């Protein structure tokens, strides 16, 4: 009898545990799909364009600022002098040590994309420019 009881109970137990596992897996899969679709992984960051009061670039401040122009083909010029990317970075780095202007006005020509502007802002800021303002013609 005992032997019979054993053999009868074990299949029943496994079957019951299987039945309770399946809805769980369903729910977990649904949750998984929800989180996979709904979550975003982009690391969003910000760049200051207009700083809070005091540091805002007023027209009077712009008089001493250096003008960096950017053309759609990626050409750069600093105060009218065409420069390569590396030359511009070196110039800005040298100026940031001396007492030359640390403010830069970035003027993109029509056709320049926002990404190109942000890339040049990256270059200026990481070379030591303290303030970069955007302007249009």
Partner 1 sequence: MRISPPTESSRSELSVVPLVNVVFLLLVFFMLVGQVTSPDSLDIEPPRSVIGKDDPGQTVRILLARDGRLALERVVVSESELSDRVSGIVASQPTATFQIKADARIDAVRMIGVMERLQAAGVKELTLLTEERRTP
Residues in a beta bridge with 81? 78
To the nearest whole angstrom, how small is the minimum distance from the Cβ of residue 67 to partner 1? Answer: 14
> Closer CB to partner 1, residue 23 or residue 99?
23
Dig out the tokens for 14 from the structure. 């496994």
For residue 123, the minimal CB distance to partner 1 (Å) is 9
**Cα–Cα distance between 82 and 68 in angstroms, integer?**
10
Element (DSSP H or E) covering residue 135: none
Q: How far is the CB of 50 from partner 1 (least distance, A)?
A: 4
- C-alpha 127: how far from chain center: 19
What are the φ/ψ torsions at residue 75 (nearest 5 degrees)? -70, 140
- Compute the least distance from the CB of residue 113 to partner 1, in Å: 5
Kindly tell me which of 40 and 99 has the beta carbon lying closer to partner 1.
Answer: 40
Q: Give the whole-angstrom CA distance, residue 96 versus residue 69.
A: 19
Residue (30 or 94) nearer to partner 1, CB: 30
Least distance CB 60 / partner 1 (angstroms): 16
Choose between 59 and 99: whose C-beta lies nearer to partner 1: 59
- Tell me the three state secondary structure of residue 66: strand
User: Can you tell me whether residue 10 is helix, strand or coil?
Assistant: helix
Specify the pairing of strand 103-108 against strand 131-134: parallel
Binding site for partner 1 (CB under 8 A): 10-11, 14-15, 17-18, 21, 24-25, 28-29, 31-32, 35-36, 38-53, 56, 70, 108-119, 121-122, 125-126, 134-137
Q: Which is nearer to partner 1, 22 or 98 (CB)?
A: 22
């Amino acid at each position: 009898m005992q032997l019979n009881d054993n053999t009868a109970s074990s299949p029943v137990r496994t079957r019951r545990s299987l039945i309770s596992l399946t809805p769980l897996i369903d729910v977990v899969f649904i949750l998984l799909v929800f989180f996979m679709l709904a979550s975003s992984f982009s690391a969003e960051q910000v760049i200051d364009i207009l700083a809070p009061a005091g540091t805002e670039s007023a027209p009077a401040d712009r008089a001493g600022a250096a003008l960096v122009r950017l053309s759609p083909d990626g050409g750069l010029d600093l105060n009218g002098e065409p420069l390569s990317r590396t030359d511009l970075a070196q110039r800005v780095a040298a100026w940031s040590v001396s007492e030359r202007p640390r403010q830069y006005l970035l003027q993109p020509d029509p056709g320049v994309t926002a990404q190109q502007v942000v890339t040049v802002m990256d270059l200026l800021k990481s070379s030591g420019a303290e303030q970069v303002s955007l302007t249009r013609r």
